[in-house]
């Protein structure tokens, strides 16, 4: 029984295994517990082990790679077309093994434990920011029911709460509501401290890591974006060009073409949402050329345009017909192409033409 490719359908407790020989014939079907999979694979000769890139796949992939196997992780959406007839665990494992044999399959690079740690910190921070937003909205609704309208912004809300709770102006609130609002404000302040602690940790990491520090030299990329990008992208050379990286982030329209009629819809959900969202948002107030904080209009930054003559071939002129969302996505794609360049200082070479592309092709891993 010579196993050339071993497909594993990962589960929380039990996993299904299907082994294929060199001709693609199924020679093994087993179901075993998650802990037993590592023991079983240690007894096999070196082969290709294929899994879906799901929760726990990177940890198991690192262990299997240490045993001498070649690990191939794939996105579940690319495995689904290979499932035959009704879906069950055994057929999923067989589809994973068969998909790994395809020469055009796009594989996911294994992430190190440090990369997963940084991604976990970003997800925790994202959750804390969501909790803080929910708390502030709750405070606003409580005050609105009592006739107090607060302007937009956390600073305006904090000043209003200080006036209501720390002075006599809060007489309009009942004692019970004053105590409740004060309790919610304490929770808000605790969330601020926790978010600030994570921000300081990201800033320290951005100063100590060479790759992250190099990314922060790009206008619009700060410590949060840089650390998230380094954690999400194991090896940027897996992308053939910068447009493919922008497409992988989800900064391009979704293309649906049938019968020779192309159609584009809203942008798909980002493959690396934690970094793609800030990439598309930050450029709502960034100039395409100089990175200035002047809001992007049809003609771009006034400082960048001053004294320029070749206007019709410049970036702001090409973006003049796009709305705010379109300009943000275009600038996010442009910044992503600069990320892909080995030297961010040579990014001017990437300025020719719009970065919005429906690419996304990746090199074989």
The H or E element spanning position 303 is: helix 302-305
Give the pTM.
0.75
Digit-coded pLDDT (tens) for 248-306: 777 777 777 888 887 776 555 444 455 555 554 444 444 545 554 444 433 444 445 44
3-state secondary structure of 129: helix
Question: 148 Cβ partners below 8 Å, 6+ apart?
Answer: 160, 164, 172
Of the pLDDT bands very low, low, confident and very high (cuts 50, 70, 90), residue 52 is very high
Which stretches within 67-217 are classed as H helix?
76-79, 89-99, 113-145, 154-166, 175-208, 210-215
pLDDT at 339: 67
Question: 122 Cβ partners below 8 Å, 6+ apart?
Answer: 224, 227, 228, 231, 274
pLDDT at 287: 52
Task: Indicate if the alpha-carbon torsion angle 161, 166, 172, 176 is positive or negative.
Answer: positive
* pLDDT greater than 80 at residue 184: yes
Digit-coded pLDDT (tens) for 59-101: 999 999 999 999 999 999 999 999 988 889 999 999 999 999 9
Digit-coded pLDDT (tens) for 336-347: 666 666 554 444
Domain spans, the chain: 5-108, 113-208, 231-350
Architecture in CATH for domain 5-108: 2-Layer Sandwich (3.30)
Digit-coded pLDDT (tens) for 122-143: 999 999 999 999 999 999 999 8
Of the pLDDT bands very low, low, confident and very high (cuts 50, 70, 90), residue 175 is confident
Virtual CA dihedral for 315, 318, 323, 329, nearest 10 degrees? -50
| Average pLDDT score over the chain | 77
Between 303 and 223, residue with greater pLDDT: 223
């Amino acid at each position: 029984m010579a196993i050339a490719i071993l497909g594993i359908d990962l589960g929380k407790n039990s996993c299904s295994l299907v082994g294929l020989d060199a001709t693609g014939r199924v020679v093994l079907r087993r179901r075993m517990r998650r802990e037993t999979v590592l023991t079983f694979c240690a007894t096999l000769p070196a082969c290709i082990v294929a899994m879906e890139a799901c929760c726990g796949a990177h940890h198991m992939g690192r262990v299997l790679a240490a045993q001498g196997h070649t690990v191939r992780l794939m996105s579940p959406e690319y495995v689904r077309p290979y499932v035959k007839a009704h879906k069950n665990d055994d057929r999923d494992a067989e589809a994973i093994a068969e998909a790994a044999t395809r020469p055009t399959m796009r594989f996911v690079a294994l992430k190190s434990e440090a990369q997963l740690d940084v991604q976990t910190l970003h997800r925790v921070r994202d959750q804390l920011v969501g909790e803080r937003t929910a708390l502030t909205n709750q405070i606003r609704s409580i005050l609105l029911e009592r006739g107090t309208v607060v302007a937009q912004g956390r600073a305006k809300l904090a000043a209003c709460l200080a006036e209501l709770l720390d002075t006599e102006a809060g007489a309009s609130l009942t004692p019970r509501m004053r105590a409740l609002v004060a309790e919610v404000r304490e929770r808000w302040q605790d969330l601020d401290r926790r978010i600030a602690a994570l921000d300081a940790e990201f800033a320290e990491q951005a100063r100590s890591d060479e790759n992250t520090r190099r990314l922060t030299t790009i206008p619009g990329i700060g410590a949060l974006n840089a650390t998230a990008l380094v954690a999400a992208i194991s090896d940027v050379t897996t992308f053939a060009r910068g447009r493919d990286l922008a497409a992988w982030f989800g900064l391009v329209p979704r293309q649906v073409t049938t019968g020779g009629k192309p159609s584009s819809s809203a942008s798909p959900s980002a493959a690396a949402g934690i970094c793609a969202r800030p990439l598309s948002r930050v450029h709502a107030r960034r100039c395409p050329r100089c990175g200035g904080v002047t809001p992007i209009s049809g003609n771009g930054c006034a400082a960048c345009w001053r004294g320029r003559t070749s206007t019709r071939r410049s970036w702001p002129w090409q973006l003049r017909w796009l709305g705010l969302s379109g300009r943000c996505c275009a600038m996010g794609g442009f910044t992503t192409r600069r990320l892909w360049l080995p030297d961010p200082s040579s990014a001017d070479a990437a300025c020719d033409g719009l970065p919005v592309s429906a690419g996304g092709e990746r090199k074989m891993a």
